[in-house]
Amino acid sequence: MTLKLDDKKQIVAEVSQVASAALSAVLADYRGLTAGQMTKLRTQAREQGVYVRIVRNTLAQKAMKGTDFECLDNDWIGPTVLAFSMQDPGAAARLFKTFAKDNQRLEVKALAVGGRRYAAGDIEVLASLPTRNQALAILLGLMQAPVANFVRGLNDIPSKFARALAQIKDQKAA
């Protein structure tokens, strides 16, 4: 299917806009996947807040110019599916990692976070990043720990004093 110049400009503008707002990007080779499998991938992506798009390599390269994902310039070879994490940096990596377990034909090519390109093998690291809610829970736990330890310490002083009085009372009664 041939695209008209206006259609190409529109695709480049859309992908560029998404790329400028995205936190991370993952590129994968989708050769050999059926239409049903791609539909399943897109459905899962929508549920997880991941933008998935198949774009011609030349258009994708133009769309990435001036964004943090310009570092992926050399990875646009062969059929490529592009996924952007919009709310959680590890969402696209988790999506591709779990989807690739059931569909071995999906092969991750590269990923990028914060203007830095990573190899396909680093998907484990990116996929293991906590979600926003998990990170907030960890942070809250870290902030709460010193206060809880301080309160426990303050509570120990009267408890020790009461135990000492009880021992003195027991000694005098004996």
pLDDT, one tens digit per residue, over 113-134 is 888 888 877 777 767 666 777 7
Written as six digits, the tokens of 56 are: 């011609």
The answer on 46 and 26 residing in a single domain is yes
Structural domain boundaries, residue 59: 5-129
* 60 and 110 part of one domain: yes
Question: Closest Cα to residue 92, out of 26, 22, 152?
Answer: 26
Question: Using 50, 70 and 90 to split pLDDT, how confident is the model at 101?
Answer: confident
DSSP β-ladder status, 24-29 and 50-54 = unpaired
Query: CATH no. for residue 84?
Result: 3.30.70.1730
> Which pLDDT score is estimated for 128?
66
Same domain, 118 and 138: no
Sheet-wide strand order for 116-119: 50-54, 80-85, 24-29, 107-113, 116-119
Note whether 99 and 135 are same-domain residues.
Answer: no
* Count of alpha carbons within 13 angstroms of residue 33, beta-carbon side: 24
Same-domain check for residues 52 and 136: no
The answer on 134 and 122 residing in a single domain is no
Q: Give the 3-state DSSP-derived string for the chain, with helices as H, strands as E and coil as C.
A: CCCCHHHHHHHHHHHHHHHHHCCEEEEEECCCCCHHHHHHHHHHHHHHCEEEEECCHHHHHHHHCCCHHHHHHHHCCCCEEEEEECCCCCHHHHHHHHHHHHCCCCEEEEEEECCEEEEHHHHHHHHCCCCHHHHHHHHHHHHHHHHHHHHHHHHHHHHHHHHHHHHHHHHHHC
Q: pTM here?
A: 0.71
Model pLDDT, residue 51: 92
Residue appearing with tokens 């999906």? 106
pLDDT digits (tens, 9 = 90+) for 130-146: 677 777 787 888 788 78
163: pLDDT strictly greater than 70: yes
Give the separation between CA 142 and CA 128, rounded to whole angstroms.
20
The answer to whether residues 120 and 166 belong to one domain is: no
87 and 124 inside one domain = yes
| 102 plus 82 within the same structural domain | yes
Rounded to 5 degrees, φ, ψ at 85 are -90, 120
Domain shared by 12 and 86, yes or no: yes
Residues 76 and 107 in one domain: yes
Q: What is the pLDDT of residues 32-71, one digit of tens each?
A: 888 999 999 999 999 988 999 998 988 988 988 888 888 8
Count: domains in the chain:
2
What mean pLDDT comes out for the span 73-101?
Answer: 87
Residue 174 has pLDDT above 80, yes or no: no
| Domain end marker among 129, 146, 165 | 129
